[in-house]
């Protein structure tokens, strides 16, 4: 029973992890929490749904379209809203408020154009579960875990082993110096938004397959957001650890304590972690500079 | 129809009281909180239970709700106000959502997720008018006192404020407690107007709405917050015909204001009748000389 719960927890946690890395990436560069991140995932889920159900695209193509679409929406939101605020030299909190506006806009845009009805993904994956030593693992859970793992490994490679990653890390550590050294910061911020949006798109499609698609699907990202805070804002490994931890804890609390108290445990843990370690597990210490 | 307009008026008044609290916290001390709906819930439930179970008069219920919320805010502020920026915001977000879940799980006392009903309907238009006048008076005088100036010093730069001898930890906690008490005040009035409350009324969306209102009004303008609250409460009602599109328009408006007019409607300035008259005169004079506009609404 415990192992079964652990498997379920890891499956939920891996989807949270995909989203949480997106939060961490953007925070590490711009120092704000992209409130609209979950809604971009929601857009991805809808694009995936329509390409499968309405346009009958093959699965791999639908996935690519959904991920690219989510990435594109993310880039557009950066161009239209966040870039201007950065150029205005407004406080970083304004970025977050703009993100809240983008979130409301995206949710209601879908509500107006598509409607509030729940949509169910067509059956493209077998629903059967495989049994390993008495533990049942759903095919979908297995696939979402493997996809998340692959994407996260790819992300690691991208950040640690490529020129792109080096430039992003340089811009994250000091944007002005990075641009003095000849890094086109605006271009890299755009690319990071593309990357984060695509990650959100992948998790949106996975969530859509696991549950259903509806305009408020993005609210799932709140947990991923908490995970990224828990792991330390702006830290990608922290976000992954935090997401797995929260996923597993939620499943255990729901299974052994009470489903109604699940969120209370998550939020209490969050406040406790912040009080004991104000910068999360792996976060950098932020101090006011004189 | 008179009842409809009265209801709108009451709603605007209640929202103004809650937003004044956020304005003090966010506009004047630059602390962003997503927990104010939680304090509103604490106030609403405390006040409602006092009125229904102990038959206390409305004033006592309001004071009871405010004390309860203020006390909890004091404790929460003590442990979380050391956090910086986003981390503080997340802690208050976690708090606000926790309060909602706790109320949902305290079936026997609060009625749980199905709500708490049978609250005496004591909030009428006069109660709201008196409350708003008192709330604005308190907020205005507070912000023009030593405490208010200390808040603004912390807003401009916390380190500098510390350096000139302002105990920033103490004053941040003051601002937090005061904003929680305003939220609770609004919550009690809210409960006694609808006579029925459900925990989901006080969720994250409500908290973020209040913060957005303050930003739109202008961070650092009390009158800006009041004007923004009035507009944002009335607009959706006037645009009933386009109900489907009003939230979409709201989202777009938030993005436009933050990107194109970052200082909000009023910026740091307060609305003043004299200056408005001067501005209108100026507009007419300018038309004669036809010079390009330079001064914004003051």
Beta-bridged to residue A131, according to DSSP, are: A136
Nearest Cα of chain A lies from the Cα of B5 at a distance, in angstroms, of: 27
Q: Residue B254 and residue B213: Cα distance in Å, rounded?
A: 9
Contacts of B251 in chain A (CB under 8 A): 101-108
- Indicate whether B40 pLDDT > 90: yes
Give me the domain span that covers residue A167.
2-216
Query: Is pLDDT at A289 greater than 60 in this prediction?
Result: no
Identify from B84, B248, B253 which residue to disrupt to test chain A contact, counting A C-beta atoms within 10 A and taking the largest count.
Answer: B248
Q: Is there a contact between A271 and B80 if contact means CB atoms under 8 Å apart?
A: yes
pLDDT (mean) for A165-182 = 87
Q: What is the pLDDT of residue B158?
A: 86
The confidence score (pLDDT) of residue B296 equals 47
What average pLDDT score do residues B188-195 get? 92
Non-local CB neighbours of B195 within 8 Å, separated by 6+ positions: B117, B118, B119, B120, B121
What's the CA gap between A233 and B88, in Å, rounded?
A: 12
CB contact under 8 A, A264 and B158: no
Best CA proximity match to A35, nearest among B32, B155, B39, B38: B32
Measured distance CA(A151)–CA(A154) in Å, rounded: 5
What is the rounded distance in angstroms from the CA atom of residue A161 to the CA atom of residue A168? 12
What's the mean pLDDT in A91-106?
86
The label of the residue with tokens 């913060």 reads B211
Instruction: Give residue A290's pLDDT band: very low, low, confident or very high (50, 70, 90).
Output: very low
What DSSP letter does each residue of A208-261 carry, written as one string? HHHS-B-GGGGGGHHHHHHHHHHH-TT-HHHHHHHHHHHHHHHHHIIIII-GGG
Residue A241, in any domain of the structure: no
B236 or A109, greater pLDDT: A109
**Looking at the predicted structure, is the pLDDT value of residue A142 above 50?**
yes
Phi, psi of A130 (to 5 degrees): -100, 150
Q: For chain B, say whether A92 makes contact (Cβ under 8 Å).
A: yes
**CB neighbours of residue B134 within 10 Å:** 12
Which residues are A188's β-sheet partners? none
Distances B145 to A130, B151, B223 between C-alpha atoms, Å? 69, 10, 17
A130 near B CB under 8 A: no
pLDDT band at A287 (very low <50, low <70, confident <90, very high): low
Q: How many other C-beta atoms lie within 10 A of the C-beta of residue B215? A: 29
Closest to A42 measured CA to CA, from A124, A104, A97: A104
**Of B232 and A279, more confident:** B232
From the list A32, A98, A264, which residue is nearest B259 (CB)? A98
**Residue that wins the pLDDT comparison between B75 and B274:** B75
A260 touches chain B (CB under 8 A): yes
> pLDDT of B113-159, one tens digit each?
888 888 888 888 899 999 999 999 999 999 999 999 999 998 888 88
pLDDT at B45 over 90: yes
Mutate: best of B22, B83, B242, B259, partner A, most A CBs <10 A: B259
Residue A281 predicted with pLDDT over 80: no
Mean pLDDT of B43-51: 93
Whether A112 and chain B come into contact, CB under 8 Å, resolves to yes
At A50 the pLDDT is 92
Query: Which candidate, A136, A103, A191, A97, places its Cα nearest to that of B258?
Result: A97
Helix (H, G, I), strand (E, B) or coil at B57: coil
Q: A14 touching B, CB under 8 A?
A: no
Contact B50, B61 (CB under 8 A): yes
Cβ–Cβ < 8 Å for A240, A102: no
The secondary structure of chain B in percent helix, strand, coil, rounded to multiples of 5, reads: 80, 0, 20
The residue of chain B with its CA nearest to that of A111 is B244
Of A247-256, B236-245, B257-266, the poorest mean pLDDT is in B236-245
B115: left (phi over 0), alpha (psi -120 to 50) or beta: left
Q: Do B212 and A97 touch (CB under 8 A)?
A: yes
Its sign, for the CA torsion B200, B204, B205, B208, is positive
Asked whether A180 and A46 are in contact (CB, 8 A), the reply is no
Task: Quote the CA–CA distance of A95 and B87 in Å, as a whole number.
Answer: 15
Q: Rounded mean pLDDT of A78-85?
A: 89
Which has more pLDDT, A191 or B295?
A: A191
Q: What number is the average pLDDT over the span A131-155?
A: 83
At B297, the pLDDT band (50, 70, 90 cuts) reads very low
Q: How far is A149 from A36, CA to CA, in rounded Å? A: 24
Q: Which of A159, A266, A12 is nearest to B90 (CA)?
A: A266
Percent of chain A with pLDDT over 70: 97
Q: CA nearest B263 in A: which residue?
A: A90
**Confidence band of B243 (pLDDT split at 50, 70, 90):** low
Indicate the Cα dihedral angle B129, B230, B263, B181, nearest 10°.
40
B interface with A, Cβ–Cβ below 8 Å: 30, 32, 79-80, 82-87, 90-91, 94-95, 97-98, 101-102, 104-105, 157-159, 204, 208, 211-212, 215, 244-245, 247-248, 250-255, 258-260, 262
What φ, ψ does residue A277 adopt, rounded to 5°?
A: -130, 90
- Any idea what the Cα angle at residue A111 is, between residues A109 and A112, rounded to 5°? 65
Cβ of residue A259 closer than 8 Å to a chain B Cβ: no
Task: Return the pLDDT at B123.
Answer: 84
All domains in chain B, ordered by first residue: 2-247 (1.10.3470)
d(CA B184, CA B181): 5
Cα–Cα distance between B84 and B87 in angstroms, integer?
6
CA atoms within 13 A on the CB side of A118: 8
For B63-81, letters b (16+ CB in 10 Å) and e give bbbbebbbebbeebbeebb
* Cα four-point dihedral sign B280, B285, B291, B294: negative
Q: What percent of chain B has pLDDT over 90?
A: 38
Closest residue in A to B105 (Cα–Cα): A260
pLDDT of residue B189: 94
Domains of chain A: total:
1
Averaged over A168-192, what is the pLDDT? Answer: 88
CA B153/CA B220 separation, integer angstroms: 12
- Stated as kind and residue range, the H or E segment containing A129 is strand A129-132
A105 and B244 within 8 Å at the Cβ level: the answer is no
Chain A residues with CB inside 8 Å of B204's CB?
Answer: 222
List B245's β-bridge partners, or say none: none
Q: What angle do CA A83, A89, A90 make, to 5 degrees?
A: 90
Is pLDDT above 60 for A188?
Answer: yes
Q: Which of A91, A223, A271 to mutate to test the interface with B (most CBs of B within 10 A)?
A: A271
DSSP B266: T
Contacting residues of B for A90, CB less than 8 Å apart: 258, 262
* Averaged pLDDT, B156-168: 89
Total CB pairs under 8 A between chain A and B? 132
A169-173, A246-250, B38-42, B246-250 — which is least confidently predicted? B246-250
**How far apart (Å, rounded) are the C-alpha atoms in residues B106 and B103?**
5
Q: In this predicted structure, what is the pLDDT of residue B27?
A: 86
**Partner B contacted by A2 (CB < 8 A):** no
Q: Please tell me which residue of chain A has the smallest CA distance to B91.
A: A271
- pLDDT of B291: 45
CB contact under 8 Å between A267 and B158, yes or no, is no
CB B221 within 8 A of CB B229: no
Closest alpha carbon within chain A to B83: A278
Q: Does A199 touch chain B (CB under 8 A)?
A: no
The answer to whether position A49 is within a domain reads yes
Q: What is the pLDDT of residue B141?
A: 94
Q: So what's the pLDDT on residue A126?
A: 67
Inspect the interface and report whether the beta carbons of B101 and A108 lie closer than 8 Å.
no
C-alpha R_g of chain A: 19
């Amino acid at each position: 029973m415990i192992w079964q719960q652990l498997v379920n927890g890891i499956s939920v946690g891996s989807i949270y992890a995909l989203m949480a890395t997106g939060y961490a990436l953007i925070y590490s560069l711009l120092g704000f929490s992209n409130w609209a991140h979950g809604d971009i995932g929601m857009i991805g889920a809808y694009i995936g749904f329509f390409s499968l159900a309405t346009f009958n695209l093959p699965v791999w193509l639908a996935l690519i379209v959904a991920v690219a679409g989510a990435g594109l929406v993310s880039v557009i939101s950066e161009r239209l809203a966040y870039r201007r605020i950065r150029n205005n030299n407004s406080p970083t909190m304004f970025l977050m408020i703009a993100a809240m506006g983008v979130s409301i806009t995206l949710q209601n845009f879908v509500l107006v154009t598509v409607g509030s009805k729940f949509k169910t993904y067509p059956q493209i994956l077998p629903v059967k579960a495989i049994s390993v030593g008495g533990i049942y693992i759903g095919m979908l859970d297995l696939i979402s875990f493997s996809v998340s793992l692959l994407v996260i490994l790819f992300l690691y490679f991208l950040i640690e082993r490529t020129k792109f990653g080096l430039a992003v890390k340089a811009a994250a550590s000091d944007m002005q110096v990075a641009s003095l050294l000849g890094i086109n910061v605006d271009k890299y911020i755009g690319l990071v938004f593309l990357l984060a949006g695509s990650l959100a798109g992948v998790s949106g499609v996975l969530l859509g397959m696991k549950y259903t698609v509806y305009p408020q699907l993005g609210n799932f990202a709140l947990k991923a957001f908490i995970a990224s805070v828990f792991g330390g804002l702006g830290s990608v490994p922290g976000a992954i650890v935090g997401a797995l931890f929260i996923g597993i804890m939620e499943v255990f609390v729901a299974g052994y304590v009470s489903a109604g108290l699940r969120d209370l445990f998550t939020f209490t843990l969050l406040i406790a972690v912040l009080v004991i370690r104000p910068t999360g597990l792996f976060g950098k210490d932020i101090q006011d500079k004189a | 129809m008179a009842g409809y307009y009265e209801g709108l008026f009451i709603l605007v008044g209640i929202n103004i009281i809650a937003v004044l609290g956020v304005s003090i916290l966010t506009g004047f001390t630059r602390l962003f909180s997503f927990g104010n709906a939680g304090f509103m819930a604490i106030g609403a439930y405390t006040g409602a239970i006092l009125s229904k179970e102990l038959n206390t008069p409305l004033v006592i219920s309001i004071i009871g709700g405010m004390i309860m919320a203020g006390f909890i805010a004091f404790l929460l502020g003590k442990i979380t106000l050391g956090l910086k920026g986003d981390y503080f915001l997340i802690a208050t977000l976690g708090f606000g959502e926790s309060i909602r879940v706790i109320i949902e799980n305290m079936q026997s006392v609060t009625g749980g997720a199905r709500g708490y009903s049978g609250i005496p309907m004591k909030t009428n238009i006069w109660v709201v008018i008196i409350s708003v006048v008192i709330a604005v008076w308190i907020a205005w005088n507070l912000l023009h006192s030593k405490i208010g100036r200390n808040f603004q010093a912390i807003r401009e730069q916390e380190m500098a404020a510390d350096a000139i001898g302002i105990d920033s930890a103490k004053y941040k906690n003051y601002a937090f407690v005061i904003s929680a008490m305003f939220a609770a005040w609004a919550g009690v009035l809210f409960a006694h107007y609808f006579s029925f409350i459900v925990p989901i009324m006080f969720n994250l969306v409500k908290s973020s709405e209040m913060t957005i209102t303050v930003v739109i009004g202008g961070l650092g303008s009390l009158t800006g917050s009041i004007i923004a609250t009035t507009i944002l409460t009335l607009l959706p009602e006037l645009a009933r015909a386009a109900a489907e599109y009003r939230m979409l328009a709201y989202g777009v408006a938030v993005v436009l204001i933050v990107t194109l007019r970052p200082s909000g409607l009023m910026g740091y300035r307060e609305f003043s009748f004299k200056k408005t008259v001067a501005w209108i005169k100026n507009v007419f004079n300018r038309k004669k000389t036809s010079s390009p506009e330079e001064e914004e609404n003051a």
